[in-house]
Amino acid sequence: MSQPAKRTQSDQVLRAIKGQLWVLFILILLALLVDIFWLDSQKVIAKSLAVGALLSFVSQAIFAWFVFHRTGYHARRTIVHQMYRGQMIKWAVTLSGFIVIFINIRPLSAPALFTGFMLMQISHSWMLWRLR
């Protein structure tokens, strides 16, 4: 016989988001160290990696806010709609964020930008796996 899924508590999600803040902080420090050892005066790699990681963090935080804004059995339909709405807004924030970054930030290292973004995505997946 199957059992119902365990509820994900909002405080666990909040702890995971705080954990993501630590990952963001560590990524920025590591990129800054790379720039210091390469003697890059403009800190292009650190800036690009930080902006990519920050964009990923902001889009994930917006999605988490939409999903966990309402809880309970009576709000189940609203929760499903909020998941769809949160995912659409997350994609819109991500795409518009990349557009704004590529237009406005000069000089920019695209590999560092995407590396920061992907490392935060990987850490987000790891944090979700730990919640289960």
Number of domains in the chain: 1
CA separation for the pair 38, 43 (Å, rounded): 9
* pLDDT of amino acid 1: 59
Domain assignment present for residue 110? The answer is: yes
Domain assignment present for residue 109? The answer is: yes
Whole-number percent of the chain with pLDDT over 70: 85
Domain assignment present for residue 41? The answer is: yes
CA separation for the pair 120, 90 (Å, rounded): 14
- What is the enclosing helix (H) or strand (E) of 33? helix 10-37
Amino acid code (one letter) for 80: V
**Mean pLDDT, to the nearest integer, of 107-122?**
92
pLDDT tens-digit readout, 34-88: 888 887 778 888 889 999 999 999 999 888 888 777 666 666 778 778 888 889 9
Q: How far is CA 34 from CA 21, 52, 107, 115, 121, in A?
A: 20, 16, 17, 14, 21
Identify the domain containing residue 59 by its residue range. 10-131
Domain assignment present for residue 122? The answer is: yes
pTM for the model stands at 0.80
